[in-house]
């Protein structure tokens, strides 16, 4: 599975959009991009995933570049409860295995 | 639905003791996983199962054994605990389609003295 690179930390003002980048330059054609987050010491929570097209759900939007070498997770109106570690993961395995990196710690400030 | 539950929530062991962590899911999921998370790190996959009666090694399997005798349960065993196994252990499950979301349990905090 391809590796990902994320900034270690980011800040965002409450109510503003949070844009979290992820580089996955070695991604192969059948690999999906997944985003999970972990609040405090809870179990990780699924946010969104995609293959080629941009995706949106009730939590976030995922923008994948045309060459698929990078992506951005967008939280449209960040709240204090969105403060968490966000993990970008690339995976194709038909076993569903996820390889976590160290993620981006997002701090949403009032 | 209770989702994914883990038992126990906390445990303290002495070096050399053994224990079993239980993960249960009531979603009829086919796939199940055990991860560990050390302070300041991401999760690392220990073992996983793609169906009842099957198990496979993940990134860091040494020192652990697993069993999946029933579809809803995935057990993680430590035969002889070591201080290096002090960690938070998370279990997760996945529906039949591998390209879908994993559901995680609340974690078990294990300390080995």
What tokens were used for B54? 């099957």
The reply to whether A44 touches chain B by the CB within 8 Å rule is yes
C-alpha dist (Å) from residue B74 to B7, B25, B77, B90: 11, 9, 10, 12
The reply to whether B74 touches chain A by the CB within 8 Å rule is no
The phi and psi torsions of B91 (rounded to 5 degrees) equal: -110, 150
Q: What is the pLDDT of residues B26-65, one digit of tens each?
A: 999 999 999 999 988 889 999 999 999 999 999 999 999 9
* Distance in Å, alpha carbon of B104 to nearest chain A alpha carbon: 5
Residues 6+ apart with CB under 8 A from A3: A24, A26, A90, A101
Of A43, A49, A102, Cβ closest to residue B104: A43
- Of A28 and B22, more confident: B22
Contact A44 B100 (CB under 8 A): no
The reply to whether B104 touches chain A by the CB within 8 Å rule is yes
Contact A100 B44 (CB under 8 A): yes
* Distance in Å, alpha carbon of A99 to nearest chain B alpha carbon: 7
Nearest to A86 by CA among A24, A39, A16: A39
Contact B107 A42 (CB under 8 A): yes
Report yes or no: B80 and B16 within 8 Å, Cβ to Cβ: yes
Q: What is the pLDDT of residues A73-95, one digit of tens each?
A: 999 999 999 999 999 999 876 78
């Amino acid at each position: 599975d391809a590796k990902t690179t994320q900034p270690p930390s980011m800040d965002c003002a409450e109510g503003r959009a949070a844009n979290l980048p992820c580089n996955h330059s070695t991604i192969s054609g059948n690999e999906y991009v997944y985003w999970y987050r972990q609040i405090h010491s809870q179990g990780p929570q699924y946010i969104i995933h995609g293959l080629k097209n941009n995706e949106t759900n009730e939590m976030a939007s995922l923008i994948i570049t045309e060459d698929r070498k990078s992506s951005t997770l967008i939280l449209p109106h960040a709240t204090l409860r969105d403060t968490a570690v966000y993990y970008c993961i690339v995976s194709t395995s038909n076993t569903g295995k996820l390889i976590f990196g160290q993620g981006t710690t997002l701090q949403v400030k009032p | 639905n209770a989702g994914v539950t883990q038992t126990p929530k906390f445990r303290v062991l002495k070096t050399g003791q053994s224990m079993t962590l239980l993960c249960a899911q009531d979603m009829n999921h086919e796939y199940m996983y055990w991860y560990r998370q050390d302070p300041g790190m991401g999760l690392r996959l220990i073992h996983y199962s793609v169906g009842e009666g099957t198990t496979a090694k993940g990134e860091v399997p040494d020192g652990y054994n697993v069993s999946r005798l029933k579809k809803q349960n995935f057990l993680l065993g430590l035969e002889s605990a070591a201080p290096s196994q002090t960690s938070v252990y998370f279990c997760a499950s996945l529906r039949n389609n591998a390209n879908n979301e994993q559901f995680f349990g609340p974690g078990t905090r294990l300390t080995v003295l």
